Structures are given as structure tokens and as C-alpha cells.
């Protein structure tokens, strides 16, 4: 039978108050390093003594609620300052405690050796207490980050690269997202919260079982998790990507294609009539457009406010149908958006519009 012994003892540090009238002679043979851990609130107990190794009453000799602990990182930056609370001095004379909350340690890298000092403030005068065996005002705290298990944090992806398809339109791919983790419990599903902004188009997931990331391995897998499409502007988190079964896949990536256009030079006659837009004419058809391309006209060009009264033009037909590189001009278009009140006619040109994936959060 194996036996493992565990011990529970206070994280106690002895410090010396060099008060007036005392000659400091005491030298501690060994002062242990304080260990604190990420993920939990850490309670440290201080034992305040004079040069004769006699405990001091913290509510009278040192001053009520005047002791504080300053924690400093390796770059000499102050992490925080904490009040040291005296215990019942009748029962626990000279003892005080301080709590370093887990939230203050969450963003510190570990392991690292922090420094600390204990300061007594009386009548506005700050006096350091000795915290090590050679009467230095600085002690050492070892920050450990692996003693307490924590859940895997969510990760966010925002970078995309583009490739051109056979029609000359870009397809965007996210960074490769690992879905196989070295954990006690094998990962069976992942959740991808895919947030889009003013999106029209199709989103899908590529995947690969290979241990190395390669474009061809993604293409070989096709679209194993299906796809999601919208033909109307959508902003928010799409209903796709939740509870994706990992199976034997090692990496996935999010790909999307929006109704993009490389066209230029189109000018439209747009009328507004009591809040409704209409395309009443094509002044210039421009070149390089494809059917279903989107063109955004800012509301300020139409007597309104940008982002509130924008007009989104959809190209419904083009003059030439052929290869992706043929010169194509707009021959008809439709428009959507909220116009201001009244009746007016404008000539306006806009910019090619492409919805996008804003962020991917993986959990």
C-alpha cells in the first residue's frame, strides 16, 4: 500500500520591526521563499517581532491597520498593494494576514520570482520592515502557475488570407485551428463562435487529419462539416460551428466567400421617396463587374447619414458573360437601405462591398 503524507501549515513569514531604542542583532539562519499559486486566492501570514524576537502587538506598538504588503514583478513594476489585517492580538499577538486574490495573478506569466516589501505607516511616516535574514527590505515570492488545474481558455482568431478561385473572386481562410489537445480527457467536440459583420455569402469549415498543415490536405477533406449561407445582410454570431465533432481531425480552418466584385467606374441614378431607395438609371456601367456584386453608397451621398442611410446596390445583370477576366459593365441593379423622408434624385457611385468575418472564438 502506498502512503502519501500531506501537511497543512500557514504560509507564514517572520519579519523584524527595527523600532527606535532597539539594537538589531538577530540574524535568521534561513528565510524560506513564499510560494503562491495562480488560480486561487493566496493567504500569507506575517509574524512581526522586535530585535529580541518578541512579538509586537500590531494594534498598539506598530499601529492599527497600518501594515501593508507591496508586490513587485521582475520588471520592478508594482503588481498591487495590500493591507495586512492584524489577527486577534490577545490570542495571536504579532500575527497579521493578507490575501492576494487570484484575479491579480491571472495575467502574470509564470513561473517567476516576485519581490515584496512590508511597510509600516504611522502618522504619515513609512518605515520598511526587515523581510529576510540579512535585514533587507525586499523578500522573494515564487509565483507558480501549474499547481491548480484550470480550464482551457477560449482563443480568438482574426487573421485571414485570400486565394483567388476560378471565377476570379477571393476565398478567405482563417489561420489553422488545432482541435487535438494533449489532455486527460480526449477532446470530442469544439465550439466555434463565428461573428460576422454585414455579411452576405457562404461560410464553411475545412479540416485535415494530417499532423502537418498543408493547403492540399484541407482541399482533400472538402467541406466535412457543411456550410452556412445568407443572401441578406447579417451581423452577429452565425448559427454554425457549435458542437463540431472532432473525430480524427487535427486542424480545422474557417473559410468564407462573400459576394465580392473587382469592378470599377459604375455610376447610378438613385431616387429616394419617403424612406425608400430605387435605382432609376445607370449613368455609367463601369467595367469588371460580376452578377450579384454589391456596391455600397454612403448615406451622406444621398442626403442622409453614413451607416444609417447607406444604400446597398446589387448588380442584377452585366453586359458581357464569359470568363472571369472579361470586361463586364452593369446593365441593371437593385437597391436596399433606409432613405430619409422626402423625394430627391441623386447621381452616386459607391465602393465594392464585401462582408467579412469579424472574429472566431474557439472553446
Pairing of strands 139-144, 160-164: unpaired
Assess if residue 6 is contained within a domain.
Answer: no
Q: Check whether residue 157 and residue 79 sit in a common domain.
A: no
Assess if residue 169 is contained within a domain.
Answer: yes
Q: Of 191, 211, 188, 197, which is closest to residue 160 (Cα–Cα)?
A: 197
Q: Structurally, how many domains does the chain consist of?
A: 2
**Grid cell digits, residue 223:** 467541406
Quote the pLDDT of residue 343: 92
Assess if residue 1 is contained within a domain.
Answer: no
Q: Check whether residue 236 and residue 105 sit in a common domain.
A: no
Q: Check whether residue 310 and residue 165 sit in a common domain.
A: yes
Assess if residue 2 is contained within a domain.
Answer: no
Q: Check whether residue 304 and residue 351 sit in a common domain.
A: yes
Is the whole model's pTM more than 0.85, yes or no? Answer: no
Euclidean distance between CA atoms 139 and 72, whole angstroms: 10
Q: Check whether residue 198 and residue 344 sit in a common domain.
A: yes
Assess if residue 126 is contained within a domain.
Answer: yes
Quote the pLDDT of residue 6: 47
Q: Check whether residue 199 and residue 277 sit in a common domain.
A: yes
Assess if residue 333 is contained within a domain.
Answer: yes
Quote the pLDDT of residue 53: 72
Q: Tell me which of 97, 127, 144 is where a domain ends.
A: 144
Q: Check whether residue 164 and residue 111 sit in a common domain.
A: no
Mean pLDDT by 10 residues, the chain (363 residues): 55 55 51 76 78 71 64 75 79 79 80 79 71 65 73 78 74 83 73 83 85 72 82 82 82 80 82 91 85 84 88 84 60 89 89 77 79
Q: Is the peptide bond before 53 cis (omega within 30 degrees of 0)?
A: no
Quote the pLDDT of residue 136: 65
CATH number of the domain residue 119 falls in: 2.60.40.10
Quote the pLDDT of residue 263: 79
Q: Check whether residue 229 and residue 132 sit in a common domain.
A: no
Q: Tell me which of 102, 123, 144 is where a domain ends.
A: 144
Burial status of residue 140 (CB atoms within 10 A of its CB: 0-12, 13-18, 19 or more): middle
Q: Check whether residue 109 and residue 189 sit in a common domain.
A: no
**Grid cell digits, residue 126:** 513609512
Assess if residue 208 is contained within a domain.
Answer: yes
Range of the domain at 210: 151-363
Assess if residue 322 is contained within a domain.
Answer: yes
Q: Check whether residue 212 and residue 301 sit in a common domain.
A: yes
Euclidean distance between CA atoms 263 and 86, whole angstroms: 74
DSSP string, 26-43: ---S--PPEEEETTS-EE
Q: Check whether residue 119 and residue 161 sit in a common domain.
A: no
Quote the pLDDT of residue 15: 55
Q: Tell me which of 110, 144, 178 is where a domain ends.
A: 144
Q: Check whether residue 114 and residue 162 sit in a common domain.
A: no
Amino acid at each position: 500500500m502506498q502512503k502519501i503524507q500531506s501537511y497543512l501549515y500557514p504560509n507564514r513569514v517572520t519579519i523584524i520591526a527595527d523600532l527606535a531604542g532597539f539594537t538589531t542583532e538577530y540574524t535568521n539562519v534561513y528565510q524560506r521563499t513564499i510560494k503562491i499559486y495562480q488560480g486561487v486566492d493566496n493567504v500569507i501570514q506575517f509574524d512581526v517581532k522586535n530585535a529580541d524576537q518578541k512579538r509586537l502587538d500590531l494594534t498598539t506598538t506598530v499601529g492599527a491597520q497600518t501594515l501593508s504588503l507591496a508586490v513587485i514583478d521582475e520588471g520592478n513594476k508594482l503588481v498591487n498593494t495590500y493591507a495586512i489585517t492584524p489577527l486577534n492580538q490577545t490570542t495571536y499577538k504579532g500575527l497579521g494576514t493578507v490575501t492576494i486574490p487570484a484575479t491579480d495573478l491571472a495575467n502574470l506569466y509564470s513561473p517567476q520570482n516576485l519581490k515584496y516589501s512590508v511597510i509600516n505607516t504611522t502618522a504619515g511616516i513609512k518605515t520598511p520592515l526587515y523581510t529576510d535574514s540579512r535585514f533587507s527590505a525586499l523578500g522573494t515570492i515564487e509565483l507558480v502557475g501549474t499547481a491548480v488545474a484550470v480550464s482551457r481558455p477560449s482563443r480568438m482568431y482574426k487573421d485571414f488570407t485570400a486565394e483567388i478561385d476560378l471565377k476570379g473572386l477571393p476565398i478567405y481562410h482563417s489561420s489553422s485551428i488545432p482541435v487535438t489537445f494533449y489532455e486527460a480527457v480526449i477532446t470530442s467536440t469544439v465550439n466555434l463562435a463565428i461573428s460576422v459583420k454585414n455579411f452576405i455569402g457562404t461560410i464553411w469549415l475545412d479540416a485535415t487529419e494530417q499532423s502537418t498543415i498543408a493547403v492540399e490536405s484541407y482541399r482533400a477533406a472538402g467541406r466535412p462539416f457543411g456550410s452556412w449561407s445568407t443572401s441578406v445582410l447579417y451581423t452577429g454570431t452565425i448559427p454554425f460551428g457549435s458542437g463540431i465533432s472532432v473525430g480524427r481531425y487535427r486542424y480545422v480552418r474557417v473559410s468564407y466567400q462573400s459576394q465580392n466584385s473587382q469592378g470599377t467606374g459604375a455610376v447610378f441614378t438613385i431616387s429616394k421617396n419617403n424612406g425608400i431607395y430605387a435605382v432609376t438609371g445607370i449613368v455609367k456601367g463601369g467595367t469588371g463587374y460580376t452578377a450579384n456584386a454589391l456596391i455600397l453608397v454612403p448615406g451622406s451621398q444621398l442626403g442622409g447619414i453614413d451607416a444609417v442611410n447607406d444604400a446597398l446596390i446589387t448588380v442584377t445583370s452585366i453586359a458581357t458573360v464569359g470568363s472571369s477576366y472579361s470586361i463586364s459593365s452593369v446593365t441593371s441593379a437593385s437597391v436596399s437601405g433606409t432613405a430619409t423622408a422626402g423625394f430627391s434624385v441623386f447621381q452616386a457611385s459607391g465602393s465594392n462591398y464585401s462582408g467579412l468575418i469579424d472574429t472566431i472564438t474557439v472553446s
